Structure 1
Amino acid sequence: MSSKIKASLFNHLIDSERQLLDPDVRQSRDALNALLDDEFIEIAANGTVFDKHHVITRLPTEVVPQFYNQHFKGRMLSDDVAQISYQAAYRRSARSEFNYSLRMSLWRKSNEQWKMVFHQGTPCALFTISMDDD
């Protein structure tokens, strides 16, 4: 099994990652349910672990931060599991300082649909935010 990810799948998963940052998606339980696997686990930057139920009940009540993400990389871990990693910067408001992190997600194909099964964001050093769409 090659670890190379097909460009079409890579682009689809980047789009799916970005959907999870979209205010309309974050405030919709149905949209979140469609993107998150039933076995979804997130490890937050502070070490807190969340499951799908926590995320679907928490996100719709949160103020949506301003996000930037860039420098996506992807690889296949198996025929039905893909890994996506990228840099992210976010802030709670236009006056807030940015928080910088390295993000990693695992996406699993089930019934011909890719859903996020794992996500972790780890704080990292400041980096330059690129306004290019990569």
Structure 2
Amino acid sequence: MTIKISESLLGHLIEQERVLLEPSIRQSSSSLDKLLNPYFHEISANGMMFNKAHVMSRLPNEKVPQFYNQSFKGQMLSDDLAQLTYHAAYRHSAKAPLHYSIRMSIWKRAQNHWELIYHQGTPCPEFELLFEE
């Protein structure tokens, strides 16, 4: 049985996903440490698997890509686990082609905040970008 996610929690988790794309957050070890669960794992769109230590060593030095995310959907997997799915398009520079993917994140409630415990990007066909979200 699926537990409905509240609109306020969905909005908060969408904001958290977008916060993770901000250069000031990506370059801050303390901010990343707070947002990523100790058991965090990511499977990237190119099939690579990363843990929290790898992500925390890579992100501060990585140029933030131009990123668009939209069409968010959420559901509760349990009282303390929330799943987001969405479409994303990104490129490494303004002149580079866009890469399209479907993204899925699982957020876990910690003591007084939510932490990202799992993220995956899977390549998908091109979709129309919506700029009103």
**TM score, norm. by length of structure 1:** 0.96
Q: Deviations over 1:14-59 (max 9, x none)?
A: 0000001111111111111111000000001121110000001000
**TM score, norm. by length of structure 2:** 0.97
Q: In the aligned structure 2, how far is the partner of 1:15 from the partner of 1:132?
A: 15
CA RMSD, Structure 1 to Structure 2 (Å): 1.0
Q: Could you say which residue in structure 1 is the equivalent of 2:95?
A: 95
- Divergent runs of 4+, >2 A: none
| Number of aligned positions between the proteins | 133
Q: Could you say which residue in structure 2 is the equivalent of 1:84?
A: 84
Task: Flag structure 2 segments of 5+ consecutive residues without an equivalent.
Answer: none
Q: Could you say which residue in structure 2 is the equivalent of 1:47?
A: 47
> Counterpart of 1:111 in structure 2: which amino acid?
Q
| Deviation for aligned residue 1:112 | 2.4
Give the 3-state SS of the residue equivalent to 1:122 in structure 2.
strand
Give the 3-state SS of the residue equivalent to 1:130 in structure 2.
coil
> Counterpart of 1:120 in structure 2: which amino acid?
Q
1:98-117 superposed matches below 5 A: 98-117=98-117
| Deviation for aligned residue 1:113 | 1.5
> Counterpart of 1:66 in structure 2: which amino acid?
Q
| Deviation for aligned residue 1:132 | 0.7
Q: In the aligned structure 1, how far is the partner of 2:16 from the partner of 2:49?
A: 21
Q: Could you say which residue in structure 2 is the equivalent of 1:11?
A: 11
Q: Deviations over 1:65-116 (max 9, x none)?
A: 0000000000000000000010000000001000000000000012121100
Task: Flag structure 1 segments of 5+ consecutive residues without an equivalent.
Answer: none
